[in-house]
Structure 1
Amino acid sequence: MKVDIKLAMGLVGSLVMATGVWLGGAGGTELTGLQLVSAPTPLVVPNGPGKVRCPQPTKIVGNANELQRAISSARAGDVIRLRPGIYRGRFVAQKSGSRQQPIYLCGTPTSVLDGGGVKKGYGFHLNKASFWRLVGFTVRNSQKGVMGDRTIGSTIQGLTVYNIGDEAIHLRNFSSANIVQYNKIYNTGLRRAKFGEGVYLGSAKSNWNQASGGRMDQSNNNLVRGNAIRATAEAIDIKEGTSGGRIIGNVFDGSVMGGDQVNDSWVDVKGNNYLIEGNSGKKTVMDGFQTHEIIDGWGTGNVFRKNLINLAGGRGVGINDTVGGNTIACSNKVIGGPLLKKGSCS
């Protein structure tokens, strides 16, 4: 029988005080059938630059119907504020703001978009809707958390995305020049662990017919910054055909990774000309970072620098450059293994 961690700790603490004997080990404590289950380390989102601030609201909503009406009628410059509460449904935005007047949807972690189940649907869908600012609220209980299709110049910031069937945040179908920053992502892959990425950029070649009309999904120049991610698959998956993005200052917890044999690094880089800088991670199945050539000429021209890699039992290396043509700086630091499988840093 599993019990609440605080209750169990209280019970064990009382016994320790009474007997002076600690009865368990690092993996938990068992007392006449009572099992102590360790709680995961809390995710802490880093501080950093470039945060969006929500202006004074032009609309305030308090339930799911009001929210969808506000989204459907949104115009450039609108600022929609979510009151605290549960918003049940799957929400779709199809109107665009402008570069000068984006559309804001702002809330707090107690403003919760609940999709009703992890087997289907998107918690929030930017469907050909550009220049949005999604700030501060929670998305949970959907197959995919936040999906962007053909969204340009949008920002996804400070969300809590958890209890998700597959991936948490996905930019695809020529979604470019967007920012995904300072989000907290965990409990992904509840439908299929091997599809439980934290942040997913582009589409796999095998999905181009469905996702991008049969064309290479050039979801380019996206910034993924300062997110805290604990995912069952890669924390960040950078797909073939995408280029010019930046992966900056994110924190990865690989303690639940391993939904499939290919999910063995925090970041897979199959695109070109990315900057991967200042990220930190702890615990991985195999490597910290990997490059892969899925299409000839892709998975190269990327720069890795100033990343802090704690393999914590991972069987591989800090950065496994299987492609070549990538720059691995000596400013990357590794605990628990070598930086590279072959060659030397620069």
Structure 2
Amino acid sequence: MSLRKSSRRAVFLGAAGISAVVALTAAVGGPARAAGVNLSAAFAQTSVWTSGYGGGYTITNRGDAAATGWTVEFDLPAGSAVSSSWSSVRTQTGQHYRFTNAGFNGTVPPGGTAGFGFNVAGSGLPAGCTVNGVPCDGGGPGTTPPPTTSTTPPGTTTTTPPPAGGTLDVSTAAQLQAALANAAPGQAIRLAAGTYRGSFVTTKAGTAARPITLAGPANAVLINDGPSGDAPDCPVPTAGWDSGYGLWLSGAPYWTLRGFTVQESKKGIVVDDSPHTTIDGVTVHHVDEEAVHFRRSSADSVLKNSTITYTGLVQPGYGEGVYLGSANSNWGCHGNSGGVDRGDRIQVLDNHIGPFVAAEPIDVKEGTFSGVIRGNTFDGRGITGQNSADSWIDVKGIGYTIEGNTGTFAPPGTFANGYENHNTSTSPSFDNGCGNVWRNNKSDLGGAGDYAIKISSVSKCAANPNVVYASNTVTNARSGLTNIPVTP
């Protein structure tokens, strides 16, 4: 039987356009001067927590020739250190840090920009910044250095997103569908502003050296008015069936999704069997169920700098903002790693989730390990309490770090505790809900919640306990910070 939801009204989100003006000047009566590169680099903090902050640099080419590589260097004061970074290759000598471009962002056209980010443990800000050897506030036209290859010292974390490949511009739904169906490693698919209605799915894989990028402005809007057709027993791309997902990666690792909007769909972005996916700066809102789901062992993925609101419009109890893994009752479909959905080492960083996320802003499922949830802002207005959804985060996974987040709750909604853990029995057996760490989280429970951090079934985690540090704070709680002793 074929089912089709009624068409929804598109919502357009404004985005600033970027234009580049290239000027070539010639001396009167003489030959034109050689084109030159003029790079500047501007620092900005993107989030701040008790023990550190996140920030980054935006590099702008104010010259009249393309830069084909860049290096930013700066010093941090004693007591502060870069703990992680992305979109760059990082090396360190004492308190001096050097960031060179990743493969995908070394070319900066005249008038164009590139950027990279990092997290700092400590409060010290960068000083003495240079870009390609000149002060970061800009120097005269210079010679573009060749791309560099750095040897990273042991223990240094680096992240290299997709390298540049051929760029394909799309402006219609049909063009986008064709681009997703034929995507190749290293390719960049660039969305024009506008509304794209249809089923958008890819099964094409990038590689570690040549990932695939889909990017567009915030007013490039993907809408799927499905589902339709006869669904298979387990959701996999099937001829004649429209899942209703706004964007679906299935068996498509090494993708980066950046900047665009997904709305008015059954689910927002679903990442199935697609590890090493990065979702950066997207907006997902007004979806029937969950906004972003990393499923079928889509490990080593990242969701960052994104905004999620208005989920669970049809099934409130299944309207999670971010869903990591699968409930063990669904491992029969999604347990593709020894019968388990191993969505391990997923990072959820610096996102704004809520209001009117009907279920948990983040739901961490059993059988997943070692993720990081950091620097997010949770607005709990509109949490429904359906299907036991009554907290910002429910952690059934193992060994997660939850730090530097800020959560608030105010009516309307149903709210029990800020953060909760649960111990779910599974086969194969794991210490579900154990070994998780909370630090530097700020919670305002609005007079409705009992604890900022509620640890259940403490005895089940005796061998791998949950740890709540005293650096967590709470206001307007009915009971207090936590129900277990805090760690200094």
Corresponding residue of 2:92: none
Q: Decide whether the 8 Å contact of 1:118 with 1:141 is kept in 2.
A: no
Q: Which has the higher helix share?
A: 1
Corresponding residue of 1:334: 474
1:1-346 equivalences in 2 (<5 Å): 48=55, 58-116=167-225, 121-212=244-335, 215-230=339-354, 231-260=357-386, 262-283=388-409, 285-295=415-425, 297-324=431-458, 325-337=465-477, 338-346=480-488
Please give the root-mean-square deviation of Cα atoms over the aligned residues, in Å: 2.0
| Matched position secondary structure for 1:206 | helix
| Matched position secondary structure for 1:161 | strand
Q: For 1:340, give the aligned amino acid.
A: T
Residues 256 and 71 of structure 1: CA distance in aligned 2, closer, same or farther (over 3 Å):
same
**Displacement, 1:345?**
3.8
Where structure 1 has 5 or more consecutive residues not aligned to the other structure, the ranges are: 1-44
Q: Decide whether the 8 Å contact of 2:208 with 2:254 is kept in 1.
A: yes
| Matched position secondary structure for 2:407 | strand
Mapped partners of 1:59, 1:123: distance in 2? 20
Q: Decide whether the 8 Å contact of 1:118 with 1:191 is kept in 2.
A: no
Mapped partners of 2:486, 2:219: distance in 1? 48
Mapped partners of 1:128, 1:198: distance in 2? 22
Q: Decide whether the 8 Å contact of 2:306 with 2:350 is kept in 1.
A: yes
Alpha-carbon deviations, 1:220-241, whole Å to 9, x = none?
A: 0100101111111100000000
| Matched position secondary structure for 2:378 | strand
Alpha-carbon deviations, 1:88-142, whole Å to 9, x = none?
A: 0121111111111110000011100011268952111110101000000000111
| Matched position secondary structure for 1:164 | coil
**Displacement, 1:65?**
0.6
The two structures have a TM-score, normalised by structure 2, of 0.59
| Matched position secondary structure for 1:320 | strand
Q: For 2:308, give the aligned amino acid.
A: I
Q: For 2:348, give the aligned amino acid.
A: V
Aligned residues: 302
Q: For 2:382, give the aligned amino acid.
A: V
Mapped partners of 1:294, 1:207: distance in 2? 13
Q: For 2:185, give the aligned amino acid.
A: A
| Matched position secondary structure for 1:96 | coil
Q: For 2:298, give the aligned amino acid.
A: S
Q: Decide whether the 8 Å contact of 2:266 with 2:287 is kept in 1.
A: yes
Where structure 2 has 5 or more consecutive residues not aligned to the other structure, the ranges are: 1-45, 48-53, 57-84, 88-104, 106-113, 115-163, 229-242, 459-464
Mapped partners of 2:481, 2:227: distance in 1? 37
Report the structure number with the largest CA radius of gyration: 2
Q: For 1:211, give the aligned amino acid.
A: H
| Matched position secondary structure for 2:269 | strand
Mapped partners of 2:178, 2:227: distance in 1? 24
| Matched position secondary structure for 2:397 | coil
Alpha-carbon deviations, 1:128-168, whole Å to 9, x = none?
A: 10100000000011111000111111101111101111100
Mapped partners of 1:297, 1:245: distance in 2? 15
